[in-house]
Structure 1
């Protein structure tokens, strides 16, 4: 999950409050492998899940992975995956949640509930977990790292995939994964590293998931990282309702906008759109299993 983007936005031209038009459908269906159907941006109503699923399917995004990264979101996720066969789920405590819960004395109870929810057969992901040094100060680093280690252990014990949030913490994320031993299926959600980090992740067998940020004009280093990612290790996501791809940067994101990101990714990787779509679909089912 990302907070609203830092820096200037296009405001009234294509910013928050304007609804993007649907892109042309993809030739082969793909998966939005990280979205937040439970989160609404300030001043907006929560999206209707059935409507969101239908709009995505209409443009070739026929499967979603809903991520609940606090207790209310995790409970919501467990309910949604039972009602909507197009949706699988992930549950965890976001890196910024762990210090807050620890300070309140409720972290252990939250861990227990997350592990209980994660046992659901349609919850296929432990995540998003990881480290976020952007929004949590030095006092919270130790709790974040302990929480990350706990989530890694749960993913391995339950046989679930792991989705990682990494913000301004690349070295520590890779170090802790090496120390603990990463699960067999590990996804770097909303990949934000450079070519060097991408190469390390690829060598370790991790999957790199790219969001709308890869379409931004100032994201040259991110596109360079995508260019060295093999087809068999790449995924796509929205991280909705944030990180809307160009030309709608700043507007509210949703799974139906995935085709905009996919087409940019295909250009960067030098492959035809149908070939990339096939890889994205196959990789998603390798990570999460069949829907």
Structure 2
């Protein structure tokens, strides 16, 4: 017997203007202007008026920039995901360099290191390939003077080592930050930006809850990472940018903040970080 797929969450009441700092519109079904507008309009009805859509392979990077040109509420981040780092050949580098310079691209990402999937996922890039690609993306972010958006899964120490050895770009964003307070303090001290997703609403994420209370508002973003990581109490249901207020509500409760004030603060940070 197959389990019944959970229904999409209801559209929440807006908390004010929000920026979804990291999502995957292509994976949410945005393939043309009509489908894109449906998703972005639904987000706007929940107060999420700006969306940064993020690529994980070359085709997705090209689509992300097209989506950003189709709707003024959408911006792009372009890179090869660490698990696809072995595909960073000369052709991919040339395409990514062009996309990174596009006026609608606001960050180089997601790039970084993923120590979870090698050996578990067929075709996943090995660690040396990931590190080489990460170093190239760091250099690209510097060359185009745009933020570096980092994917980090179970790779805290190695990731910091590479960033330190290469010299971090002016702005570094840790997308879907999921480490504990020690890593949070290190990133905060470096002036890096931490973006929190629906995982912060999960009841068993105690170390992340502690980390979330430490982040200054000027270094805090919120994201959906949709269609993944739907916040509690809708975990397991399809995620989309319109669900972002659920994460902000949960985060505000953890931090002891007013939800509307937290929404305004993260929006101001996003606009500054991405130069929106």
TM-score, normalised to structure 2's length?
0.93
Matched residues in 2 for 1:114 and 1:150: separation?
11
Corresponding residue SS for 2:126: helix
Question: Which of 133, 147, 162 in structure 1 is aligned with 2:115?
Answer: 133
- RMSD between aligned residues: 1.5
1:119 corresponds in structure 2 to 101
* Unpaired segments ≥5 residues, structure 1: 1-10
Question: In the alignment, is the contact (CA less than 8 A) between 2:148 and 2:171 conserved in 1?
Answer: yes
Q: Counterpart of 1:3?
A: none
How far apart are the structure 1 equivalents of 2:260 and 2:152? 30
Deviates more, 1:264-273 or 1:28-37: 264-273
Query: Residues of 2 paired with 1:123 and 1:25: CA distance?
Result: 27
Which of 133, 146, 149 is equivalent to 1:163? 149
Q: Give the match's secondary structure for 1:96.
A: helix
1:51-90 maps to which residues of 2 (within 5 A)? 51-90=38-77
Question: Which residue pairs with 2:20 in the alignment?
Answer: 32
Q: Give 1:36 shift.
A: 0.3
Pair 1:275 & 2:257 matched: no
Identify the residue that residue 221 of structure 2 maps to in structure 1: 235
Structure 1 equivalent of residue 11 of structure 2: 22
Quote the Cα distance in structure 1 between the aligned partners of 2:111 and 2:134: 6
Residue 274 (structure 1) shift = 2.0
Shift of 1:139: 7.6
After TM superposition, the score normalised by the length of structure 1 is 0.88
CA-CA distance at 1:228 after TM superposition: 0.8
Q: C-alpha deviations, 1:159-187, integer Å up to 9, x for none?
A: 11111000010111111111111111110
SS at match of 1:125: strand
Q: What number of residue pairs does the alignment pair up? A: 267
Assess, with a 3 A threshold, how the Cα gap between structure 1 residues 126 and 139 changes in structure 2: closer, same or farther: closer
In the alignment, structure 2 segments of 5+ residues that lack a partner are: none
Cα deviation for residue 17 of structure 1 reads 4.3
Residue 134 of structure 1 aligns to a residue whose secondary structure is: coil
Q: CA deviation at 1:217?
A: 1.3
> 1:180: which partner in 2?
166
- Measure how far apart 1:46 and its partner are: 5.2
Equivalence for 2:252: 266
1:89-104 equivalence runs, <5 A: 89-99=76-86, 101=87
Q: Which runs of 4+ in 1 moved over 4 A?
A: none
The alpha-carbon deviation at position 150 of structure 1 amounts to: 0.3
